[in-house]
Chain A
Amino acid sequence: MVDSYRPLSLKEALDLRADTGAMPFAGGTDLMVRYRYESGAIPDYPRPVMFVNQLDDLRKIRRIDHGLSIGAAVTMTEVLDHDDVPEILKEALLTIAAPGLRNTATIAGNICNASPAGDSICALYALDAGVKLQSPGGERIEPIYQFITGPGKIDLHADEILTEIIIPEDHSTIHLFKKVGTRRANALSKLTLSAVARISDSRIDEIRIAIGAVAPTVVRSLELEKRMEGRSLKEVALEAEDILRDYDALVQPIDDQRSTAVYRKRVAMNLVRHFLLGVVLQQKGA
């Protein structure tokens, strides 16, 4: 049996984490399944557990300079009910599990679980989100694509807690979120696409394309995005097939119980193609 803690302030939580190595427990929708033991028995946690969802410091959504901060203990339902949250993140959250689970599950937990099929994660890549990590000694902010290092792997130090998700102001003029799963509720993704773009005067000012569950971590290419940004739709149209071939090389899915590599690759590339040729390049003045 392991100990459990219920700190009442962020400071207490950070000290506890540093002193005991307790693992943060947010909504528990991953932890309760991962360590599930027999019916009626206490889950088989390998380390002490520290509840965090009662921490007021982590329960706020607030506007910050050039963006939005979502506290690590804010539930998915609370994020969905908030006016300032970008639409693409809401669309992604609505595909996760079902209302009862979204009432306790957090985005921070989805990120720290670091499943390649984490649906909020894919949207957060497209929004260029970052995470704030705090320890008794200080804090740092990392882009999500650096924080998540592999399936189930994150760059979280032993004395750190993820405290905020930081989403830069969303200036996109178009977005597309698409989750492919077996059924609408309670189904993990076979694959997901999250893409945003800002088009003005027939030019791509900004574009970000993220593809989930087709590689060890969400696929996003800063290089290919740079190649399109600042260019006219006409110019990009001439290179579109080339760019799609480069995306194709990055999409390296596997077979598992949810889908096959062949299916994932085909559908993922059809969606990227649709976003680029069918949505972005169809904007007025192309």
Chain B
Amino acid sequence: MGRMVIVGAGECGVRAAFTLREEGYEGTVTLVGEEPHLPYERPPLSKNAPPAVKLIAEETRYRDLSIDLLRGTRGQRIDRENRRLVLADGRTLDYDRLLIATGARARRFPGMEKACTLRSVGDADAILSAIDAGTKLVIIGGGFIGLELAATARGLGAEVTVLEAADRLMARAVPAEIAAMFEDRHRQEGIRLRLGAKVETLEEHIVELADGSRIEADIVVAGVGAEPITGLAADAGLAVDNGIVVDGCLRTADPSIFAAGDCCSFPYRGAPVRLESWRCAQDQGAHAARAMLGCGDSFGRVPWFWSDQYDLGLQVAGLARADQPFLKREAGDGAFVLFQLDGQGRVLSASGAGPGNAVARDISIAEKLIERGIAVAPEVLCDPGTRLKQLLKG
């Protein structure tokens, strides 16, 4: 009988543990999580107030599947020679295969020590319980988490200022036209949005910008991205380069050790990428589990993520590239999808936004077009009269 150890009990680690059992694995499965709670979903933390804790699975599910869930337990060190994970409390776990699924932590730039960040349920509680009608909330960073929190806090009646250093919102992951739709909406909702704003100094109740302006705050939250948690791997001599480096099967250079989810850098269509995406973390967890059981397939799922702000939703499938033009398809009600094609006319990425789930179907279809490498004529994509689903049948 074997021993599988998973360190990190987030979306990825939990999915890996379940998949091991779904695949019929009968040895021991131990899931080590630093957080005291039962594993929960992070996306609702910035989208709902009060933050309703949404568990990934009820406690009984772990018991029924004979998964040893060690909560409030930190993995401290990997002893590769003896294939052993040393825990912070001194216990040790021997493994045949180890999965590192330690996720990411909220980034803080120097000088931002006094700002709150939002990654865990404790963070969400601390931030949202401090927000009431009239609370002055300053958010540094106009990315997804900052903007979702801005919308949520506005719903509670807070006076919200968002400071973004770039000249537009969500610059890292969505096309400018979609960012503009969200920018308009945030302004309409009464968010004070300052683009090109460089934070000079940050005290607990005052933020000073490079242009000399000073903004009063009851609470300051930094939403300036996340950095992968890679210490276990790096200390064990495994390669780290913007994430724990893995091959197509999500395996590190040590054949007994795998990494997946937000903490890993994996090859996507030949180039290394690291994603911070909920579904990718699930898919990779499941894939890593099968790889731990000996499956040699490469991970090939198309990246996909979403964000909700007010009643607007955005979804992106594939990875948008800065060097390719966008082809626009109207989806009604002001919703639209922007496609990118590669040199051979195959769909590379699709980014859509609009009220509610208006773009969901088109993005779902686009994801399948990307996955299957189907070439589509631009005029077909751009004509809202064509049925995209038909393209999958050809």
Answer yes or no: do A and B interact: no
